[in-house]
C-alpha cells in the first residue's frame, strides 16, 4: 500500500508522520530499527521516543491517513502529502519528525550535467525495485529516470536482468504477472475512470472547502469517497481541472 501513515503517542499525543511505497513493510522496518543499534535511523527522534515508553510500540496508535492508487502515484504527490500532514499535525516542531517532510532520490553517479545516460546509483535501484513491488507501472518510473538511462537499460533493471542482488525477494511470480498483464489492463481502466467526473460547481465546492480548513481526507470522504484519494488531492491543489478557477 502506497501512502502516508501516522503514529501517535497515547500518553503525550505527540505524532510521527511517514510515507512509504509499502506501508506494511515500513512498519516492520520501524520495529527493527527501534531496537537494532546498527540501524542508521536507530537514534531518530521517533525511535528514541518508542524506546523511552514503558510499553514500546504498544504505547503508540497507528493509522493510514492517505492512500495512493499505484496508477496515480508520483513521488511529488507523496512528498507534498507528507509535508502537508507534518505541518497539519505540527509533528516537526511538536512531534517526532526530524524534518518538514519530502524526500529526494540522489543521483550521485552522474558524470556531468550533459550526460543524458548516466548510470544509476544503488539508491536509485532500490527505489525502482520498491516501485516494482508496489505495482507502480513501468511507464511512470521511466518518466522519472528517462534523462539518466535508456528505456532498454531501465527495462533490464525492472525485469531483474541486472542488479539481481537488490531486493531479490520482490522478484515474485505475482509481481511478474501483474506487470506483464494487469498493468496494461489497469491503465485502460484508470484512463476511463479519470474522464471528467466532476462538474465545475463540484470542483469549486471542493476547493472552497479546502480553503475553509477541511483536510484533503475530509474533503475526499465528504465529496468523492468512490474515487481515488489522490484524484481529490489533485483537484484541490490545482494539478487537475486547471482551467477552473
Judged against a pLDDT cut of 90, whether residue 7 lies above it is answered with yes
* pLDDT classification of 110: cutoffs 50, 70, 90: very low
**Residue extents of the structural domains in the chain:** 2-88, 123-193, 200-236
* Rounded CA separation 73/138 (Å): 12
HEC string for 19-59: EECCHHHHHHHHHHHHHCCCCCCCCCHHHHHHHHCCCHHHH
2-88 homologous superfamily: GIY-YIG endonuclease (3.40.1440.10)
Kindly report the pTM of this predicted structure: 0.65
The angle, 0 to 180 degrees and rounded to 10, between the axes of the packed helices 122-133 and 138-145 is 160
* SS3 category, 204: helix
> In the β-sheet with 15-20, what is the strand arrangement from edge to edge?
15-20, 2-9, 60-68
pLDDT score for 117: 43
* SS3 category, 213: coil
Q: What single-letter DSSP state applies at residue 180?
A: I
Nearest to 26, CA basis, from 57, 60, 50, 3 = 3
Nearest to 19, CA basis, from 78, 100, 63, 85 = 78
CA angle 150, 155, 160 (to 5 degrees): 135
pLDDT score for 106: 41
CB 5 within 8 A of CB 65: yes
Judged against a pLDDT cut of 90, whether residue 55 lies above it is answered with yes
Q: Which three cell numbers stand for residue 189?
A: 481502466
CA angle 154, 155, 160 (to 5 degrees): 100
Task: Report, in this order, helix, strand and coil percent for the chain, each rounded to 5.
Answer: 50, 10, 40
User: 2-9 and 60-68 as β-strands: parallel, antiparallel, unpaired?
Assistant: antiparallel
* Rounded CA separation 34/29 (Å): 8
* Rounded CA separation 5/224 (Å): 21
Mean pLDDT of the chain: 84
Q: For the ranges 19-28, 75-84, 170-179, 225-234, which has the lowest average pLDDT?
A: 225-234
CA torsion through residues 81, 83, 89, 95, sign: positive
* pLDDT classification of 77: cutoffs 50, 70, 90: confident
Judged against a pLDDT cut of 90, whether residue 147 lies above it is answered with no
Amino acid at each position: 500500500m502506497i501512502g502516508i501513515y501516522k503514529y501517535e503517542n497515547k500518553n503525550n499525543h505527540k505524532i510521527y508522520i511517514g510515507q512509504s511505497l509499502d506501508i506494511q513493510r515500513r512498519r516492520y522496518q520501524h520495529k527493527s530499527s527501534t531496537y537494532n543499534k546498527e540501524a542508521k535511523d536507530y537514534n531518530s527522534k521517533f525511535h528514541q521516543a518508542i524506546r523511552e515508553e514503558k510499553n514500546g510500540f504498544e504505547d503508540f496508535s497507528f493509522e493510514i491517513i492517505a492512500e495512493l492508487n499505484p496508477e496515480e502515484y508520483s513521488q511529488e504527490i507523496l512528498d507534498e502529502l507528507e509535508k502537508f500532514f507534518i505541518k497539519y499535525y505540527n509533528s516537526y516542531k511538536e512531534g517526532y519528525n526530524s524534518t518538514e517532510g519530502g524526500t529526494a532520490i540522489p543521483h550521485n553517479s552522474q558524470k556531468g550535467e550533459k550526460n543524458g545516460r548516466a548510470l544509476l546509483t544503488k539508491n536509485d535501484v532500490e527505489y525502482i525495485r520498491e516501485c516494482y513491488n508496489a505495482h507502480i507501472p513501468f511507464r511512470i518510473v521511466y518518466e522519472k529516470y528517462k534523462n539518466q538511462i535508456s528505456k532498454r537499460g531501465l527495462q533490464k533493471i525492472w525485469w531483474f536482468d541486472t542488479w539481481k542482488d537488490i531486493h531479490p525477494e520482490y522478484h515474485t511470480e505475482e509481481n511478474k504477472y501483474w506487470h506483464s498483464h494487469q498493468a496494461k489492463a489497469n491503465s485502460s481502466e484508470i484512463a476511463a475512470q479519470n474522464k471528467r467526473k466532476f462538474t465545475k460547481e463540484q470542483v469549486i465546492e471542493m476547493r472552497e472547502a479546502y480553503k475553509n480548513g477541511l483536510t484533503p481526507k475530509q474533503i475526499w470522504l465528504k465529496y468523492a469517497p468512490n474515487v481515488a484519494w489522490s484524484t481529490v488531492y489533485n483537484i484541490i491543489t490545482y494539478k487537475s481541472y486547471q482551467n477552473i478557477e
